[in-house]
Structure 1
Amino acid sequence: MDADLMSDAQPAYAPAVAPGALPADEAAMAVQESAWLPVVLWGQGLLLAAAGLTWAHTRWGRRHPWVVGVPVLGLLGLLVADHAALLLPNLM
């Protein structure tokens, strides 16, 4: 059994994107320059939390600061890594 062509064939290519239609951070190998500020601020928060954990370790003993500090340091580390990944080229 064969198929019958009932209408004209459509082109198989996608239309080209006009130059300047995409934002600059969507171009090939572009980075999001706006991610620098969150990386710096979350990094400062991570350093302050680590300093606070060190202070708590000297005041509270050995185990209690880790119960409080590990979730905080983990969250801040993930936030720094998430925003630092935006600084990598977008075609990696």
Structure 2
Amino acid sequence: MTQMTQEEIMANTKIVVQGLEALKNEHNSILNGLSAGSLELTVSAVERAQIAVHNAEASVLNERQSLVQKSLDMIELGLGEAQ
């Protein structure tokens, strides 16, 4: 493993600091946006969550119906073969 020179360490440190500053600015921007429109975002998020739950419930119901129908078909097939 090669050792880094002091210049390389300083250059890498500057890059990391710049990245952290950009990340901090992005987080502050997001936080300000959330604070400004938090009520609208909350209502919108709740509506999206309700729609997602409804869609998931419908999907689960359809899957259950399909599984029960397949099971019923297999039972009927077995009964038909047994007769």
Instruction: Return the TM-score normalized by structure 1.
Output: 0.37
**Higher gyration radius (CA):** 2
Q: Which has the higher contact order (CA 8 A, sep 6+)?
A: 1
Higher helix share: 2
Instruction: Return the TM-score normalized by structure 2.
Output: 0.40
